[in-house]
Structure 1
Amino acid sequence: MDVERVRRWIPGVAWANLVVQIGIIITGGAVRLTGSGLGCSTWPNCEPGQFTPQLRDATDFHGAIEFGNRALAAVVFVVALSLVVLLVVAGRKQPHRRRRGLEALAAGIAAGVLIQAVVGGMTVWFELHPALVGSHFLLSGVLVAASSYLLSRLREGDGPPRPLAAEGLGPVRTLVVVLMLVTAVLVVLGVIVTGAGPHSGDQDVGYRFAVDPVSVARVHAGAAWAFTATVIALLVLLHRARANVGAGAELTRARRRTWVLLAVTLAQGVVGYVQYFTGLPELLVGIHLFAAAVLIAAVTFTVTGLRVREPVPATETLQAA
């Protein structure tokens, strides 16, 4: 196999990995929004002694939706495993360019997909326990972040990370820490809001979390405003900074990624408020879920855009961190 062809495939497969990681969140949301969480009564089979769902009439669509989500999970694993194979093959054929850190990260993503499948099975076995349903989404969020980070690392060198070569970026590290913490809080609160509302995923039990949905939604909105303020503060800091000679491109990249993050944030906020004031229609809740996955990716790209990693000498074995 031509090693250069393998290397050309790696970025495309890495992007495909991110796309399917977000896609599984969308189909998982469809399972939840249609009340199809127990459309398949067992796992790994859909029904006892039967791998596929029983489709007798139009009322059996829950099984088809749940099985479709499981089928996509298999695709997600194949894509993740393909990325591992490509990275390992490229590294073994050219040891001086091997990136063991990326291989380990890709392997971790593939392992995470398998863990996700087990969590999905446990969710069925324990009849949609809210903690398992919530952790199912949170694990997908971690996999989206890891997949986005891997894409960023593919474009970087393997030298030690350094700050952007610009003046006036003193508080940037503090803002990055705040941004990541608020992102985690925002996502977790979103899981609680969904579990406390009418789209918990179970048609028989509408509200899986025993908390006041209005109160927790307001707390979630407060976290969203804190997140937005942090992104704006970061953007202002980047635009007030002055790049050193020859380092304008890296500052421009950081500004561009942060603008994209702000755009995604504002769009997500609009959808969130519209769905809240229109009675949580399923379509808008699904869009909000999709935007949450995109937001996680955008945060990851923004954070990795605030540092630079130079190539190491070609004579060294590449050890990506």
Structure 2
Amino acid sequence: MSTSIVPSDQSLKMGPFAKWAPTMKLQRLLALLLLIFQGGITVTGSIVRVTGSGLGCDTWPLCHEGSLVPVAGAAPWIHQAVEFGNRMLTFVLVAAALAVFLSVLAAKRRKEIVIHSFIQGLGIIAQAVIGGITVLVDLHWYAVALHFLPSMILVFLAAVLYTRIGEPDDGTATVAFPGWIRVVAVIATIAMAVVLITGTMTTGAGVHSGDDGVGMQGRLNVDIDWMAHVHGYNMYVYLFFTLIVVFGLYRAKAAAKTQKLGFALIIFILIQAGIGIMQYRLGVPRWSIPFHIAMSAVVVAFTSLLWAQGRPRLGGQAQVTGSPAGDLKHQALSAA
């Protein structure tokens, strides 16, 4: 008896994705691009800040009153180009999130993955609105902080999505870490959140308001030297608990991939700490800020990748699209 699946006309007319069954490899590639773009837009946002281009487009959703695009003479052309360019990158991010969402739908992936991909889209829309509010309140420090922190949450969730897409839906959810390691990992993640929050406060107390015309108006009124030390001490707390997690993984003989992620995270935290110390010693030069923001995204992403290894789905037969139904669909389309 033949076990091949012969597609019927009906099976190939089930909606707009009927003739697309993306492989798990393609889904992961799209998810990786989304993760990179989520981190990358925070870097371009920091470039807006250090070039003083935050009000290059002085309203939202338009660039200037009555115009969606920059207007000659409304602001220095370089500031308009930098700010408008950063806004346009949002559409690249939207396209990446949409591609991931459609691919997991077409592959008939499990509900967890579909929800994660949907959250990415909602988060991007919310970030665009927050960015608009930031402009409308003339880059007040708290608005800038609230614009940055959700981006880090989206980076964290994008890394989880990337990991989960690589796990077959019919695999068995398994607890990979001893319970005490999971507890310490939670503490480390909370410590990382505190580092990010105090980092935005340090920036808020600094001189880089995001626009040359704003100056120190609307800045956080605390001693920046004290704030920088609070931020730095919290980084050491985060590093301490992360070291405990990585040591625990080594003692528990965790998977080699998981241990490598842990060691890589330690290295990235140390690099980030080094950049922060260098910034403090040099008086926070403008050119250093994009590097610090980029490493923030890297550290958050690797923290998430390591966290996601704690409860993986192992085994499973759906190795083509990641979904049993998706594999059947892929086989039917191949046969057609």
TM-score, structure 1 normalization: 0.87
Counterpart for residue 39 of structure 1: 56
Counterpart for residue 116 of structure 1: 127
Counterpart for residue 332 of structure 2: none
Deviation at 1:54, TM superposition (A): 2.4
Mapping 1:132-281, distance limit 5 Å? 132-158=143-169, 161-164=173-176, 169=178, 171-203=180-212, 204-206=214-216, 208-242=219-253, 251-281=255-285
Of all paired residues, the percent bearing the same amino acid is 32
- C-alpha offsets along residues 76-135 of structure 1, whole Å, 9 cap, x if unaligned? 0111011111111221xxxxxx31221111111011101111111111112212222111
Question: Of 91, 103, 107, which aligns to 2:114?
Answer: 103
Find the residue that maps to 1:48 and give its secondary structure: coil
- C-alpha offsets along residues 51-73 of structure 1, whole Å, 9 cap, x if unaligned? 11124599421111110110001
- C-alpha offsets along residues 143-185 of structure 1, whole Å, 9 cap, x if unaligned? 11111010010122445643227xxx45212211111110110
**Unpaired runs of at least 5, structure 1:** 92-97, 243-249
Mapping 1:306-321, distance limit 5 Å? 306-311=310-315
Aligned in 2, Cα 1:9/1:240: closer, same or farther, shift over 3 Å? Answer: closer
Higher relative contact order (CA 8 A, sep 6+): 2
Deviation at 1:192, TM superposition (A): 0.6
- C-alpha offsets along residues 191-238 of structure 1, whole Å, 9 cap, x if unaligned? 111111112323223361111111111011101111111122222222
User: Could you tell me how far apart the structure 1 residues matched to 2:32 and 2:317 are?
Assistant: 27
User: Could you tell me how far apart the structure 2 residues matched to 1:125 and 1:200 are?
Assistant: 14
Equivalent residue letter for 2:95? V
Counterpart for residue 126 of structure 1: 137
The answer to whether the aligner puts 1:86 opposite 2:131 as a matched pair is no
The answer to whether the aligner puts 1:18 opposite 2:35 as a matched pair is yes
Deviation at 1:310, TM superposition (A): 2.5
User: Could you tell me how far apart the structure 1 residues matched to 2:242 and 2:25 are?
Assistant: 34
User: Could you tell me how far apart the structure 2 residues matched to 1:173 and 1:300 are?
Assistant: 13
Question: Of 46, 68, 73, which aligns to 2:90?
Answer: 73
Find the residue that maps to 2:53 and give its secondary structure: coil
User: Could you tell me how far apart the structure 1 residues matched to 2:172 and 2:153 are?
Assistant: 24
User: Could you tell me how far apart the structure 2 residues matched to 1:156 and 1:206 are?
Assistant: 49
The two structures, once aligned, show a CA RMSD in angstroms of: 2.3
CA contact (8 A) 2:24 2:166 kept: no
Deviation at 1:254, TM superposition (A): 1.5
TM-score, structure 2 normalization: 0.84
Question: Of 46, 49, 57, which aligns to 1:29?
Answer: 46
Find the residue that maps to 1:280 and give its secondary structure: coil
Equivalent residue letter for 2:291? I
- C-alpha offsets along residues 29-51 of structure 1, whole Å, 9 cap, x if unaligned? 11111121111011111111111
CA contact (8 A) 2:159 2:304 kept: yes
Aligned in 2, Cα 1:232/1:81: closer, same or farther, shift over 3 Å? Answer: same
Equivalent residue letter for 2:32? W
CA contact (8 A) 2:43 2:290 kept: yes
CA contact (8 A) 2:185 2:242 kept: no
User: Could you tell me how far apart the structure 2 residues matched to 1:215 and 1:189 are?
Assistant: 11
Find the residue that maps to 1:26 and give its secondary structure: helix
Find the residue that maps to 2:287 and give its secondary structure: helix
Counterpart for residue 294 of structure 1: 298
CA contact (8 A) 1:55 1:61 kept: no
Deviation at 1:75, TM superposition (A): 0.8
Deviation at 1:311, TM superposition (A): 4.6
Find the residue that maps to 2:314 and give its secondary structure: coil
Deviation at 1:304, TM superposition (A): 1.3
Find the residue that maps to 2:157 and give its secondary structure: helix
Counterpart for residue 49 of structure 1: 66
Counterpart for residue 94 of structure 1: none
User: Could you tell me how far apart the structure 1 residues matched to 2:145 and 2:205 are?
Assistant: 11
User: Could you tell me how far apart the structure 1 residues matched to 2:82 and 2:310 are?
Assistant: 40
Deviation at 1:252, TM superposition (A): 1.2
